[in-house]
């Protein structure tokens, strides 16, 4: 992970803080995430302090949180600060104008997209690692209803993003000693998805099945994206050293 890239869970926390929700400010979320990366990679304090903060974070930390919105370019720039994510403005433009237009809707903050809409696009980016757009539209339609009223969603975009991000992190670090790797990871993801539902109230049994299955789906797609990113890393290194 690059020094200033965030895990999906940290990005979910950051998005929530941009809405003025959660216990920490946007700056505190970034400080915690970067301090963890600093410690994990053994980077000296001097090198850490000399590293320039990405422009998109500098801009958002100065923004008025009462009316914060994102352009297409800003969504792509922010998305590229998530570990093993590669977003282009062209792709995002195509999604909002065509592929997932009915999921995202029109810009809600003047000509800009809301924090929730940005989260939806990050979810789409994760799901497209393994799913086609028709499948993405169908499963997300089961979770998210009126684009202009998040209160009727089974689960709101950012909590959903945060939930499967947390599940992925637990599965990614799951101890699989003594069991088949694939079975162990799948079992871990399913168990975590079911436990996650305990924090949400008033779900019917059918709704629990829907949310649980889509959490598992999203977690597996992120795992797929991770392995895809690792594969590209080794291919690039091999070609660089031997090209």
Is pLDDT above 60 for 180? no
With 0-12 / 13-18 / 19 or more C-beta atoms within 10 angstroms meaning exposed / middle / buried, residue 107 is middle
> Which of 60-64, 170-174, 184-188 has the highest mean predicted lDDT (pLDDT)?
60-64
pLDDT in tens, 206-241: 999 999 999 999 999 999 888 888 898 899 889 888
DSSP tag of 113: B
Q: In terms of Cα–Cα distance, which of 60, 91, 99 is closest to 78?
A: 60
Per-residue confidence band for 130, with pLDDT thresholds at 50, 70 and 90 = very high
Please check the confidence at residue 136 and state whether its pLDDT lies above 70: yes
More reliable by pLDDT, 173 or 103: 103
> What pLDDT does residue 1 have?
42
Domain boundaries, the chain: 8-242
The pLDDT of residue 123: 98
Q: What is the mean pLDDT of the chain?
A: 87
pLDDT digits (tens, 9 = 90+) for 18-33: 999 988 999 999 988 8
Average pLDDT over residues 62-73: 92
Q: What is the distance between the alpha carbons of residues 168 and 171, in angstroms, rounded to a whole number? A: 5
> Percentage of residues in the chain with pLDDT exceeding 90?
60
The confidence band for 179, taking pLDDT boundaries of 50, 70 and 90, is low
> Could you tell me if 82 and 5 are in contact, meaning their C-beta atoms sit under 8 angstroms apart?
yes
pLDDT of residue 44: 57
Q: Are 146 and 156 in contact (CB under 8 A)?
A: no
Q: What is the mean pLDDT of residues 151-165?
A: 91
Kindly report the pTM of this predicted structure: 0.89
What does the block give as tokens for 99?
């592929």
The Cα 206–Cα 88 span in angstroms is 37
Query: 2 pLDDT exceeds 60?
Result: no
Backbone angles phi, psi at 7, to 5 degrees: -70, 165
Residue 190 CB coordination number (10 Å): 17
Confidence category of residue 35, pLDDT binned at 50, 70, 90: confident
């Amino acid at each position: 992970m690059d020094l200033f890239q965030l895990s999906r869970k940290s990005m979910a926390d950051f998005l929530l803080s941009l809405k003025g929700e959660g216990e920490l400010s946007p700056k505190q979320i970034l400080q915690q995430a970067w301090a963890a990366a600093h410690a994990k990679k053994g980077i000296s304090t001097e090198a850490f302090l000399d590293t320039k903060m990405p422009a998109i974070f500098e801009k958002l930390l100065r923004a008025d949180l009462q009316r914060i919105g994102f352009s297409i370019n800003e969504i792509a720039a922010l998305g590229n600060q998530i570990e093993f994510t590669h977003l282009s403005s062209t792709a995002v433009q195509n999604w909002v104008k065509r592929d997932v237009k009915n999921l995202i809707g029109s810009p809600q903050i003047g000509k800009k997209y809301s924090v929730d809409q940005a989260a939806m696009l990050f979810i789409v980016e994760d799901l497209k690692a393994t799913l086609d757009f028709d499948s993405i539209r169908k499963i997300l339609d089961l979770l998210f209803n009126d684009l202009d009223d998040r209160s009727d969603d089974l689960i709101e975009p950012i909590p959903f993003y945060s939930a499967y991000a947390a599940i992925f992190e637990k599965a990614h670090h799951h101890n699989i000693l003594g069991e088949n790797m694939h079975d162990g990871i799948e079992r871990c993801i399913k168990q975590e998805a079911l436990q996650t539902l305990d924090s949400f109230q008033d779900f019917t049994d059918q709704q629990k099945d829907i949310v649980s299955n889509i959490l598992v789906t999203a977690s597996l797609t992120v795992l797929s994206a991770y392995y895809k990113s690792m594969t590209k890393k080794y291919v690039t290194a091999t070609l660089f050293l031997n090209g």
